[in-house]
Amino acid sequence: MMRHRIRSAGPWVAPTIFLLFGAGTMAFQVPSPGGSVAGIVVVDEPDAPPARRVTMTLTGGALRAPLVAASDDEGRFRFGGLPAGRYTLTAARPGFVTTYYGSTSVWRPPGVPIVLGPAESVGDLVVRIVRGAVVTGRVTDEYGRPVLGAAVAVSGARGGRFDTTPAHGVSAVETDDRGIYRAYGLPPGSYVVGADWPSLGRRSVYAMEPYDRPVGFVPVYHPGTADVNAIELISLAAGQERSGLDIVIRPVLMSVVSGRVLRADGSPAAGLMVNAAPARALPGRAAARPTLTGTGPDGDFTFSGLPPGVYSLGTSTRTHPDDRTSDYALLEVWVRERDLSDLVLQLQPSLTVRGRVTMSDGSEVPAEINRLTFRLSPLPADPLVRPTPQRPAQDGRFEIGHLLPGRYVLHAEVLESASGPAWMVESAVVDGVDLLKAPLEIPSGGPPLSLSVVLTDKVTELSGRLLDQTGKPAPEFHVLVFPTDRELWALGEARLRPSIRPGTDGVYRAWGLLPGRYFLAAVTDMQPEDHADPDFLERLVPGAITVTVGAGERTVQDVQLVGK
């Protein structure tokens, strides 16, 4: 075993704490045999007043259900009768940010695991909860009249990317009869505020004066734009209240979009369904359901009422999930309050990858082979193509069909148990190219490709302890392990793993790393997607150490921090 010293990436920070409502019955815990977890909850303010009536939830270990307790008037809490294991502690209270114990970014999991030995007690935990921020404003129509029941969503924004689900806290609300909304319990950060017209049943297209054609409504974002590129970001500090975030929503003209679907030989494709799906996700809103229409005898189709936006028009000859072959056509169009006609969707054959799983030692494929899944994802990511993960049959054979020409990354995922996976993928080869090291190029036409996947039960493991400058465990850090070969970074999450949070004992562990050289870095704070961002990883390299993982080896690498 070796111990290395590395520089931490980011400022040295004390463990923060986080809150989350858990299932179960609220009850004050009393001392009982076994281990225990206890501490105090305080408000993250200069005088650190105790936080009363905070819901504390403990999960993990051998617990079959979460344990729930409430902090007393002095902010103290205790869980007793605990078996040995690793536990996660969360805390929650209305108006405060939901927090995980030990997380360095208030509302984001994972927190720091609390490690208990047999009959061990941890009684000095300090959980700091943060007051949530508030945003409020008024939603009116184009004539300045208040809009009752408008749906307002507050979503996060990071690095120019928008979340497609509402932010943590009470962030999805409706306006009252004055058109006023109020969202609260928001973590510090940058946000987008958007409003949508109240639902009027199943209809989405209306006749409305003084417009001479059908109109509809689309989400509008502060300060009053439907253009994602013109959205104004709102920065919030802990406990801050921002008022006056008013939004004006108005009807938009609906467009008629029409065209024809042709087969590969140019003949009309009758009797197919064509869908128009938003090609770009909007902040605070999950992907909308596509609008459907059918093709006539001449392959013609018409969408009679599409609001402005970017759409993917798509169709397929696939009529049943078990269909082995199909033809596809996709076309992206930009609808801007005017009609589009004479569009052409040209069908082309989809492509198939057929594979087989074998064991490296020649033994039979394990009975639990269905714990393995394969997925081919477009490179770069394409929201229009979403191959379904496939599981191999008992003889190890599998098939990934309905693919379009392009570059793909193979994701091979093994369901892990608490003690790690029983086997790992050793190689995945198509025409001499190992897809664990390079993307798959799928050309137009041609026969199905053959993929050979080799498993091994000699699973690699990299583990060790992360220690601070004084030699004590440093659970408040994230540990990142990523290849030294920068070409592999282009494969994204297929080779770049999420960060590891050490337990309170400082122990970190990574299973199933492919043999090779890796950077090992410690960071105090990071966004959930940073582990797959090459620019972020490059900034970590100067302070990282390198470690070599051999085939089938269990490598122990202790790490001691030496400051920034």
Least-confidence region, from 97-106, 112-121, 318-327, 360-369: 318-327
Pairwise pLDDT comparison (523 vs 259), residue with the higher score: 259
Name the DSSP letter for residue 9.
Answer: B
Write the pLDDT tens digit of every residue in 418-471.
667 888 999 999 999 999 999 999 887 778 899 999 999 999 999 999 998 788
On the question of pLDDT at 105 being above 60, the answer is yes
Q: Does domain 256-349 sit in CATH 2.40.33.20?
A: no
Residue extent(s) of CATH 2.60.40.1120 domains in the chain: 134-252, 256-349, 351-456, 461-561
On the question of pLDDT at 319 being above 80, the answer is no
How far apart are the C-alpha atoms of 484 and 502, rounded to whole Å? 22
Buried b (16+ CB within 10 A) or exposed e, 231-242: beebebebbeeb
Closest C-alpha among 161, 107, 167 to residue 135: 167
Residue range 266-295: average pLDDT?
78
On the question of pLDDT at 486 being above 90, the answer is yes
Give the residues across from 64 on adjacent strands.
none
The answer to whether 92 touches 20, Cβ cutoff 8 Å, is yes
Closest C-alpha among 525, 559, 527, 499 to residue 103: 525
Question: Among the CATH numbers 3.40.50.300, 3.20.10.10, 2.60.40.1120, 3.20.20.70, which is that of 134-252?
Answer: 2.60.40.1120
Q: pLDDT exceeding 90 applies to what percent of the chain? A: 42
The answer to whether 452 touches 546, Cβ cutoff 8 Å, is no
Q: Is 265 exposed, middle or buried (0-12, 13-18, 19+ CB in 10 A)?
A: exposed
List the CATH code of the domain at 8-129: 2.60.40.10
Q: Which CATH architecture has domain 351-456?
A: Sandwich (2.60)
On the question of pLDDT at 1 being above 90, the answer is no
- Tell me what pLDDT residue 27 has: 35
Write the pLDDT tens digit of every residue in 170-206.
778 999 999 999 999 988 888 889 898 886 543 455 5
The reported pTM is: 0.63
Query: For residue 8, which amino acid is it?
Result: S
How far apart are the C-alpha atoms of 360 and 376, rounded to whole Å? 23
The answer to whether 506 touches 470, Cβ cutoff 8 Å, is no
On the question of pLDDT at 211 being above 70, the answer is no
- Tell me what pLDDT residue 24 has: 33
Write the pLDDT tens digit of every residue in 512-523.
999 999 999 998
The answer to whether 358 touches 365, Cβ cutoff 8 Å, is yes
- Could you tell me the sign of the dihedral formed by the alpha carbons of 184, 187, 190, 194, in that order? negative
Q: Which residues touch 551 (CB under 8 Å, ≥6 apart)?
A: 458, 460, 515
